[in-house]
Amino acid sequence: MLVLIYIISSVTFILGLKMLSHPATARSGNLAAAAGMALAIFGTIFLYNDPETGHVLHNYDWIFSGLIIGSILGTVSAKKVQMTAMPEMVSLFNGMGGACAALISLIEYQHLSHMDAGMMSDHKGMVLIIVLGLIIGSVSFAGSMIAYGKLNGKVGDFSFKGQNILSILVLLIIIGLAVSLVMDPAQPILFYVIFGLSLLYGAFFVFPIGGADMPVVISLLNSFTGVAAAFGGFLYDNNVMLTGGILVGAAGTLLTIQMCKAMNRSLLNVLIGNFGGNASGGGTSGEQGSYKEVTLADAAVQMAYANRVIIVPGYGLAVAQAQHVCHELESILTEKGVEVTYAIHPVAGRMPGHMNVLLAEADVSYDKLEEMEQANDDFPRTDVVLILGANDVVNPAAKNDPTSPIYGMPILEVEKAKSVIVNKRSMKPGYAGIENALFFQPKTSMLFGDAKKVLQELVGELKTM
Amino acid sequence: MTFLEFIEHHQQIIYIVILMIFVGIVVIGRVPSVLHTPLMSGANAIHGVVVIGSIIVMGKAEAGNYFALILGFFAVILGTLNVVGGFVVTDRMLEMFKNKKAK
């Protein structure tokens, strides 16, 4: 019976993922996978028989209190989180899964270590699986926590000279110790040292990576946790854990690669990560001179009398929670006969698709959103481009400055439009820490201030016109 | 146990792993970038199956083994957080896509 349930659950996972990759079916796909998961969980609780002893599970009170506490915490935090904080929430939940895998390994090793040394060495294969689950789970947990902290600004970029070498050294030590543990499993101290070092490595892994690359890292850690779950499946000969884990491991890796491609960078380049600190700089090439500011009223007039306006939303819009006002501005302009669309860069915001989610929340119509290629075709016949808190995705250095760290990344070619209005809080460089020559071009004018406030005032100006 | 024996012994699992890798890749195939975030979030919830491992550990723990009971208890909580939180967050993201479609 349990076998049948596991088969059904595995199918729902595969179908769920499949449906999640099409806009029309995405939501039901998610629900299908969730239903399969519930089936697998309750099936395990009530129908699982220990293959060695044939006993059913006990400790129901512990299991159910754990399930209830986890469900309440999970539902509340997922319901309460702001749409802008979605990426760090995903990272947090991912870390929880990694921690769960690591804890399982800790318990199973302790379980094994009750045997005498001779018997333990008969279980080398099992120890190998336990240790691998421990390492990957801990790395994923520590890495996700750091990524979470970085995204909500609690943890800054942190790197020191030779950090990459040190990280690789730690990884080599972990592998060395793991091999020696598998050869002779009765070394509990070694096991806990591996645990500690894996946590350390996870933190080291994420620390030097710039905030702009965090989505890629989260996606990668996501597939790590998938693999850790699959080791659990190996350990218990449990096919639903195995299929679910490997499925996410493979899909997550592919998704990571696709995200890197959207930024035209290799995964290795992201991971070595000399991207975050502006000390490495480059890309400024002395091009900047003076920039000009525009008043609110002028900006409003410019847009009201344009034929076509394209709005480029970025992370600044998300932080300021300005998506609703932005939609309001769009409606007013449309009433005045202006054609308004949004140009969405694939990696705008802090996660691919982040902007789409935000604008959808503000009821912006789906067909107003243009993907990058389409928008780039439209810029030449656009009168005003309004950039709201986006920076690196419109930086021309990506196209014409080979020394720039973002060289080669496809960008929105806003400079092809007749004029560009940039809303930013200050002249500070964007997340990648590089100057943007666009701001100093003659057709560009700056409109400083918090995106929400500026948009509200723009709407106010337009209403009086 | 030699390497070949190990493979022979676990061949069923190895087949599952290989096939699942391909399924995972094919299923994701061509995702519009609009759906990257919800997809990542949904995949994140699915690897929460790891909670089943924690349930098994918990359910097998002997009554006096507090090391296993306490760590297992935390494992169940964390795994459930991963599953429930993951699916709820994904649903919230996708809910907004739907609203917009209806209009």
Domain ranges of chain A: 1-80, 85-277, 292-464
| Residue the block writes with tokens 């609690």 | A154
Coil, strand, or helix at residue A386?
A: strand
Rounded to the nearest angstrom, the minimum Cα separation between B3 and chain A is 10
Rounded to the nearest angstrom, the minimum Cα separation between B59 and chain A is 4
Q: Is the pLDDT of residue B20 over 90?
A: yes
Cβ partners under 8 Å of residue B70, min gap 6: none
Q: Is the pLDDT of residue B98 over 70?
A: no
Q: Is B70 exposed, middle or buried (0-12, 13-18, 19+ CB in 10 A)?
A: middle
Report d(CA A252, CA B39) in Å as an integer: 9
Confidence of residue A6 (pLDDT cuts 50, 70, 90): very high
Q: Is the pLDDT of residue B101 over 70?
A: no
The answer to whether A221 touches A94, Cβ cutoff 8 Å, is: yes
Q: Is the pLDDT of residue A85 over 90?
A: no
Q: Is the pLDDT of residue A285 over 70?
A: no
Helices B86-102 and A60-80 pack at an angle, to 10 degrees, of: 40
| Residue the block writes with tokens 């609203």 | B99
Q: Nearest residue on chain B to A215, judged by CA atoms?
A: B37
Using a CB-CB cut-off of 8 Å, the residues of chain B touching A75 are 84-85, 88
Rounded to the nearest angstrom, the minimum Cα separation between A293 and chain B is 33
Kindly state whether residues B39 and B69 are assigned to the same domain: yes
Which candidate from B29, B44, B92 shows the least CB-CB separation from A93? B44
Which candidate from A106, A244, A371 shows the least CB-CB separation from B46? A244
- From A448, A452, A9, A20, select the one nearest A251 (Cα to Cα): A20
More confident residue, B85 or A112: B85
Which candidate from B10, B31, B55 shows the least CB-CB separation from A21? B31
Kindly state whether residues B43 and B59 are assigned to the same domain: yes
Kindly state whether residues B56 and B94 are assigned to the same domain: yes
Report d(CA B69, CA B75) in Å as an integer: 10
Mean pLDDT on A256-281: 65
Kindly state whether residues B56 and B93 are assigned to the same domain: yes
State pTM to two decimals. 0.79
Rounded to the nearest angstrom, the minimum Cα separation between A65 and chain B is 8
Q: With an 8 Å Cβ cutoff, are A251 and B27 in contact?
A: yes
HSE (CB half, 13 Å, CA atoms) of B2?
2
Kindly state whether residues B58 and B42 are assigned to the same domain: yes
pLDDT single digits (tens) A32-60:
999 999 999 999 999 998 887 878 888 99
Which candidate from A23, A110, A239 shows the least CB-CB separation from B16? A239
- The pLDDT of residue A122: 77
More confident residue, A343 or A53: A343
Q: With an 8 Å Cβ cutoff, are A254 and B73 in contact?
A: no
Q: Is the pLDDT of residue A286 over 50?
A: no
Q: Is the pLDDT of residue A429 over 80?
A: no
Q: Is the pLDDT of residue A408 over 80?
A: no
Calculate the average pLDDT of chain A.
Answer: 86
Which candidate from A50, A100, A235 shows the least CB-CB separation from B79? A100
The answer to whether A21 touches B31, Cβ cutoff 8 Å, is: yes
Q: With an 8 Å Cβ cutoff, are B77 and A70 in contact?
A: yes
- From A344, A327, A377, select the one nearest A262 (Cα to Cα): A344
Mutation test of the interface with chain A: which of B10, B25, B49, B103, choosing the one with the most A Cβ atoms within 10 A?
B49
**What does the DSSP 8-state code read for residue A55?**
P
What residues make up the domain containing B59?
Answer: 33-102
Structure tokens that stand for A50 in this block: 């220990």
For chain A, what percent of residues have pLDDT higher than 70?
Answer: 92
Using a CB-CB cut-off of 8 Å, the residues of chain A touching B13 are 234, 237, 242
Mean pLDDT on A327-345: 90
Mean pLDDT on A62-76: 95
Could you tell me which residues are beta bridge partners of residue A420? Answer: A385, A444
Kindly state whether residues B67 and B26 are assigned to the same domain: no
Alpha helices, H only, A309-353: 315-319, 323-335
Mutation test of the interface with chain B: which of A5, A56, A104, choosing the one with the most B Cβ atoms within 10 A?
A104
Using a CB-CB cut-off of 8 Å, the residues of chain A touching B22 are 250
Coil, strand, or helix at residue A312?
A: strand
Confidence of residue A350 (pLDDT cuts 50, 70, 90): low
- The pLDDT of residue A433: 65
Kindly state whether residues B25 and B69 are assigned to the same domain: no
Give the total number of structural domains in chain B. 2
Is A185 touching B (CB cutoff 8 A)?
Answer: no
Alpha helices, H only, B10-85: 11-28, 36-46, 50-60, 66-80
Cβ partners under 8 Å of residue B71, min gap 6: A103, A106, A107
Which candidate from B35, B57, B80 shows the least CB-CB separation from A353? B35
Is A76 touching B (CB cutoff 8 A)?
Answer: no
Residues of A annotated as part of the active site: 392
Report d(CA B67, CA A107) in Å as an integer: 7
Rounded to the nearest angstrom, the minimum Cα separation between A448 and chain B is 29
Calculate the average pLDDT of chain B.
Answer: 86
Q: Is the pLDDT of residue A375 over 80?
A: yes
- The pLDDT of residue A270: 75
Is A97 touching B (CB cutoff 8 A)?
Answer: yes
Q: Is the pLDDT of residue A390 over 70?
A: yes
Using a CB-CB cut-off of 8 Å, the residues of chain B touching A67 are 76, 80
Q: Nearest residue on chain B to A80, judged by CA atoms?
A: B89
Kindly state whether residues B39 and B62 are assigned to the same domain: yes
Kindly state whether residues B39 and B66 are assigned to the same domain: yes
More confident residue, A360 or A430: A360
Coil, strand, or helix at residue A293?
A: strand
Q: With an 8 Å Cβ cutoff, are B68 and A254 in contact?
A: no
Q: Nearest residue on chain A to B99, judged by CA atoms?
A: A363
- The pLDDT of residue A260: 81
- The pLDDT of residue A230: 96
Using a CB-CB cut-off of 8 Å, the residues of chain B touching A362 are none
Kindly state whether residues B48 and B73 are assigned to the same domain: yes
Kindly state whether residues B55 and B98 are assigned to the same domain: yes
The answer to whether A342 touches A310, Cβ cutoff 8 Å, is: yes
Using a CB-CB cut-off of 8 Å, the residues of chain B touching A223 are 43
Q: Nearest residue on chain B to A368, judged by CA atoms?
A: B100
Q: With an 8 Å Cβ cutoff, are A96 and B88 in contact?
A: no
- The pLDDT of residue A289: 62
| CATH class belonging to A292-464 | alpha beta
Report d(CA A393, CA A388) in Å as an integer: 12
Q: Is the pLDDT of residue A211 over 80?
A: no
Task: Provide the terminal-to-terminal Cα distance of chain A, rounded to the nearest Å.
Answer: 71
Is A238 touching B (CB cutoff 8 A)?
Answer: yes
Kindly state whether residues B39 and B88 are assigned to the same domain: yes
More confident residue, A73 or A393: A73
The answer to whether A425 touches A419, Cβ cutoff 8 Å, is: no
* Residue-level length of chain A: 465
* Residue-level length of chain B: 103
| A157 phi, psi to nearest 5 deg | -65, 140
pLDDT single digits (tens) A136-186:
999 999 999 999 998 887 877 666 777 778 888 999 999 999 999 998 888
